[in-house]
Amino acid sequence: MTAEAATHVTAASVVDAFARRHRFHWAEALPWIVAIGAFFVFPDYLALGAQILATILFGLSLDLILGYAGIVTLGHAACFGTGAYVAGLLAAHGWGEPVSGLLIAALAAALVGFVSGAVVLRTQGLTLLMLTLVVATMLYEAANKANTITGGADGLSGMDVWPVLGFHFDLYGQTAYWYCLVTLFLCWLIARCIVHSPFGRSLTGIRENERRMHAIGSPVFWRRLTIYTIAAALAGISGALISQTTQFVGLGVLSFDRSGAILIMLILGGVGWLYGAFIGVPLYMIMQDRFAAVDPVYWYFWIGLILVLVVVFAPSGAYGLGDRLARALRRRA
Amino acid sequence: MSAAALETRALSMSFGALRVANAIDFRLEPGARHALIGPNGAGKTTFVNLVTGALHPSDGQIYLEGSDVTALPQAQRVKRGLVRTFQITALFRGLSVLENVTLAVGERLGTASDLLRPSGRRRAVIEEAFALLERLGIADEALRPVRELAYGRQRLVEIAVALGLRPKVLLLDEPAAGVPSSETGTIIDMIEQLPAEIALLIIEHDMDLVFRLARRITVLVQGAVLVEGAPEAIAADPRVRQVYLGERERA
C-alpha cells in the first residue's frame, strides 16, 4: 500500500489520509467491551475493578504529559492526591454529592497543576524530574502536618458519599464500578479529542523536537503548562473517584510510591498511544492482587522481576510488543 | 534610507571572557541575497541564535523592518516573519513530512492552539502544506516519516518547514551541510527559486553555493565583521584569502 501511495500522492489523497487519522477504529471499542464483560464475569471483584478503572484514568492523564508532551514527572501523585483529599474533605464535611465533588476536585487539582507547572516547567531534564518530586513531597508533608484537617497518618475518615444520580453505593461495588467506568469513558473522550487536535499535534512536535517548535513560533511553555493543567485535572478526578468509592483517604494518595507506580504501569502498557494505561494498569494491579495472595511477604519481588523482563525484552511495553507482532505478521503475508 | 529587513547594531555577546560576538553591525536589505561566511568558530551560528532570539545578547540591538525586537521572545520574532533553518537538520523525525510542514503552517495561522477540532479536518492547513511540498518536489514523500528520508531530502523538508511560516527574512544555516555534492545542485536551484521578496541570509561553508547565490557577502572572523562587499571584491580581498579562502582560493 505504501508503494502505491508513494507514486500517487495528491492533495486529495493526503487530505483524506489526515482526515482518517482521528476516526474511531473498531479496536478502540475493545477496552470498553472488556470492562463491561468483566462486570458480569467477575461479580466478586467489582471493588478491585473500580479501583483499576479509576487508576486507568490516572495513567491516562500521565500519558498526556509524558507520552505526548514528553514531560517526565515523578510527582503526578500531587494532583491525584489533591483530588482525593478535596473530594474526601467535601464528603466528610457535609457535601457528599459525588459528581459535583469530582468537578470541584478536578478544579483544585488543576490549580495545583497550574501553579506548580508554572514554576517547574521552566526547567528541563533532571531538574524538572526533581522539582516534580519536590512538589509532591511538599504536599505529602503538608497533609501529614495538617492532621486536624486531613487526619494525618491515620487518614481521613467519616466520609459520607451520597448516591450518584440516584444510585446508592452498594457493598458489592456495582455502583462504584459503573460510576468509575462512565467517568473514565468521558475523560477518555476528552483526552482522545485533545491528542488529535492541532494542539495535541503541537505537543507531539514539542516531544519530537522542542528547539524546532520554538523556531516555528510555538509558545512552548504555554502549550506545556496547558496540558500539564489538563492532566492535573484528570488526575484529580481519578483521585476523587478512589476516595469516593472507598470512602477513605490516606496519605498514600500523595506518596512517591503512587507517582512511581503509575509511571511503571504506564511503561508496562506503552507510553504515548493513549491506551498504555488501559493495558498496563489492569496488568499491574491484577498481578499485584494475585502475587499478594500467593506470596504476601515478597510479592513486590515478583513485580520487580517482571518489570526487569519487560524493560529488557519489550522496552516499549505492550504497545511495542503488539507493534512488532503486527509487523512480523505483515512480513509473513 | 529605507528600513532594512534585518539590522543589528553593536550586537555583542560573551561567554565569560570569550567574546563570541563583538559589536556586529549588520544590515540585510529587503529582498537581499546575502551570505555570511567565516572560518569554523567565527561565531556564525551564534549570530543566527542571537538574531532569532535563541540566545540573548549582552549588548546591542536587533531591528526587524525598523522596529526593535531585541527584547522579544523567539516565538514573537517568528510571528513577525523572522525564520531560520538549522545546520543540523532539526525536524520532527517521527512525524510524516506533511505533518512537519502542517505544524509550521498551523502555528502561523494560529490554529495550533485549538484543542477541540481534529487537526485532520483543517483542510486549508493541510492543502497549503502539501502545495509547499509539491513546489519543493517532495510531494511523493508526504506521508512518510521524516527519519526514513535520504538526508538530502530532509534538507528540503527543513526548508519547507521554514517556508510554511511565510518568512520575510529567512536565515539559512548551512542549507547544504551534509548533503552529497551530487545533490547540492537541487538545493541551490531551490534556493534560487525562492520568492524575490524574501530577504535571504545564507550561512555557508560551500563556496560554490555562496558564489552562485549571493550578491553580497559578509565575512565574520572571531566574532567580528572583517569585511563586507560584493562577491568579486570579497574573492579578491587579500585579508579574506588569508583567513578564510586560503588554499581554496578561487582563480
**Residue ranges of B 173-232 with Cβ closer than 8 A to chain A:** none
Beta-bridged to residue B200, according to DSSP, are: B33, B170
Angle at which helix A256-269 crosses helix A317-332, to 10 degrees, equals 0
CB contact under 8 A, B75 and A194: no
Nearest to A14 among B74, B94, B98 (CB): B98
Structural domain includes residue A279: no
Chain B interface includes A243 (CB < 8 A): no
Confirm if B88 and B177 have CB atoms less than 8 A apart: yes
Residues of B in contact with A12 (CB under 8 A): none
**Residue ranges of B 13-52 with Cβ closer than 8 A to chain A:** 52
Structural domain includes residue A275: no
Determine the pLDDT at residue B67: 95
Number of other CB atoms surrounding residue A216 within 10 Å: 28
Going across the sheet that includes B216-221, the strands are B82-84, B169-173, B199-203, B33-37, B216-221, B224-229
- Among the listed residues B197, B142, B194, B148, the one whose alpha carbon sits nearest the alpha carbon of residue B172: B194
Chain B interface includes A12 (CB < 8 A): no
Determine the pLDDT at residue B245: 55
CA atoms within 13 A on the CB side of B243: 18
Structural domain includes residue A141: yes
Spans of all domains in chain B: 6-248
Chain B interface includes A229 (CB < 8 A): no
Q: What is the pLDDT of residues A170-195, one digit of tens each?
A: 999 999 999 999 999 999 999 999 99
Determine the pLDDT at residue A1: 42
In order along its 333 residues, chain A shows pLDDT tens digits of 444 444 578 989 999 999 888 899 999 999 999 999 999 999 999 999 999 999 999 999 999 999 999 999 999 999 999 999 999 999 999 999 999 999 999 999 999 999 999 999 999 999 999 999 999 999 999 999 999 999 999 999 899 999 999 999 999 999 999 999 999 999 999 999 999 999 999 999 999 999 999 999 999 999 999 999 999 999 999 999 999 999 999 999 999 999 999 999 998 999 999 999 999 999 999 999 999 999 888 888 888 888 888 888 888 888 878 888 888 888 876
* Complex ipTM value: 0.92
Confirm if A98 and A167 have CB atoms less than 8 A apart: no
Calpha distance B62→B50 (Å, rounded) = 9
Chain B interface includes A9 (CB < 8 A): yes
CB contact under 8 A, A212 and B86: yes
Confirm if A242 and A206 have CB atoms less than 8 A apart: no
What is the value of pTM for the model shown?
0.93
Residues of A in contact with B82 (CB under 8 A): none
Determine the pLDDT at residue A312: 86
Determine the pLDDT at residue B3: 87
Residues of B in contact with A9 (CB under 8 A): 139-143
Q: What is the DSSP letter of A163?
A: P
Task: Collapse the DSSP code of B14 into the 3-class scheme (helix H, G, I; strand E, B; otherwise coil) and give the result.
Answer: strand
CB contact under 8 A, B117 and A18: no
Determine the pLDDT at residue A75: 96
Chain A interface includes B116 (CB < 8 A): yes
Domain residue limits at A235 = 35-255
CA angle B3, B7, B13 (to 5 degrees): 160
In order along its 251 residues, chain B shows pLDDT tens digits of 578 999 999 999 998 888 899 999 999 999 999 999 998 888 999 999 999 999 999 999 999 999 999 999 999 999 999 999 999 889 999 999 999 999 999 999 999 999 999 999 999 999 999 999 999 999 999 999 999 999 999 999 999 999 999 999 999 999 988 888 888 899 999 999 999 999 999 998 888 889 999 999 999 999 999 999 999 999 898 988 887 655 454 44
Q: What is the total count of domains within chain A? A: 1
CB contact under 8 A, B93 and A209: yes
Structural domain includes residue A302: no
**Residue ranges of A 169-198 with Cβ closer than 8 A to chain B:** 193-194, 196-198
Structural domain includes residue A285: no
Structural domain includes residue A76: yes
Determine the pLDDT at residue B251: 40
CB contact under 8 A, B86 and A215: yes
* Residue A244 C-alpha from the chain's centroid: 18
Q: Which CATH superfamily is domain B6-248 in?
A: P-loop containing nucleotide triphosphate hydrolases (3.40.50.300)
Nearest to A199 among B113, B140, B143 (CB): B113
Q: In the structure grid, which three cell numbers stand for residue A150, read together?
A: 486531613
Structural domain includes residue A248: yes
Chain B interface includes A201 (CB < 8 A): yes
Nearest to A212 among B90, B112, B116 (CB): B90
Structural domain includes residue A72: yes
- The pairing of strands B82-84 and B169-173 is parallel
Chain B interface includes A202 (CB < 8 A): yes
